Structure 1
Amino acid sequence: MAWAVHRGILRVSGGRLGLRRPRGGKWGALRLTTVGRRSGQPRQVILAYFEDGADLVLMSMNGWHEGHPAWWLNLRDAPEATVELGRERRAVRARVAEGEERARLWERWRTFDKDLDAYAALRSTEAVVVVLEARS
């Protein structure tokens, strides 16, 4: 429901409202445009993220339901995408954080959500920590 409100605000404001950079110990909201793995058409979704240096970090949590969200399945098959961060657009390439990097980024997510581990335990599918790196 909250993401539907975000989409509505973004649409009504012509993109001026609804997206925000992380600040004050809170995650940000970006719009990700992927290529649909079946349709080949652009697909957009608004997601929570935080910054890790120049990289943007997402979590493929699917509302903590089973399975992976469509946006992650699209990125897995075609990792090049575009993000909107307010008025800034950025071409990115997605990759999976693994090992020590995943553990470090998971800990950062826990600063935004103290119940992260409990929510993750509700799923048999491990949430993927996704890193979006800038591409030329």
Structure 2
Amino acid sequence: MPERDENEVVDSPTGWVAAHIRRYDESGGREGHKWYGLDTLLLTTRGRKSGRLRRTAVIYGRDGDRFVIVGSNAGSPNHPLWYLNLQANPEAWIQVGEEHHAVRTRTATAEEKPRLWAMMTSIFPQYKGYQKKTDREIPVVIVEPVAE
């Protein structure tokens, strides 16, 4: 059995997401940052079970120097895997357009969430419908660049 490289990045298995990531990555971020008019970033987490690097694309908002993302999973009853990975290891990497950042993440507190949720639902109103569709509280995640 071949040895696996724990620094090899595994992209989302969802077809349209993988295609979006590929376009974003192959263009160095010049293409793919905008997705149907929405700003997206590439988020790379460390798999909590496999230890492998996992990459997905997510819509984001800006809150000063911080980025804000939502773990909606389209209203699924389960959190997205990337969110579970961040709960296990809050250190991750993002690509925003042509920029790359090491980041530290955390779930917004109960005090922070209402303002950030309002900001994110103004960017992508479908989040409101996703919240109505599920019993779980959809998390808002704060993503802060760290010195490399």
Task: Compute the TM-score of the two structures, normalised by the length of structure 1.
Answer: 0.86
Show the counterpart of 2:136.
125
SS of 1:100 mapped into structure 2:
coil
Show the counterpart of 1:45.
56
The offset of 1:112, in angstroms, is 1.7
CA distance in 2 between partners of 1:4 and 1:65 (Å)? 20
CA distance in 2 between partners of 1:98 and 1:127 (Å)? 12
CA distance in 2 between partners of 1:4 and 1:40 (Å)? 20
From the superposition, tell whether residues 16 and 116 of structure 1 become closer, same or farther in structure 2 (CA, over 3 Å).
Answer: closer
Show the counterpart of 1:112.
123
The offset of 1:116, in angstroms, is 3.1
Preserved CA contact (<8 Å) 2:29 2:96: no
Preserved CA contact (<8 Å) 1:20 1:85: no
From the superposition, tell whether residues 40 and 131 of structure 1 become closer, same or farther in structure 2 (CA, over 3 Å).
Answer: same
Describe the superposition over 1:31-52 as per-residue Cα deviations: whole angstroms up to 9, x where unpaired.
0111010111111001100110
Task: Compute the TM-score of the two structures, normalised by the length of structure 2.
Answer: 0.80
1:9 maps to a residue whose letter is R
CA distance in 1 between partners of 2:29 and 2:38 (Å)? 19
SS of 2:60 mapped into structure 1:
strand
The offset of 1:18, in angstroms, is 1.0
**What are the ranges of 5 or more consecutive residues in structure 2 without an aligned counterpart?**
1-14
SS of 1:95 mapped into structure 2:
strand
Task: Calculate percent identity across the aligned residue pairs.
Answer: 36
From the superposition, tell whether residues 8 and 134 of structure 1 become closer, same or farther in structure 2 (CA, over 3 Å).
Answer: closer
Q: 2:68 aligns with which of 41, 50, 57?
A: 57
Show the counterpart of 1:19.
33
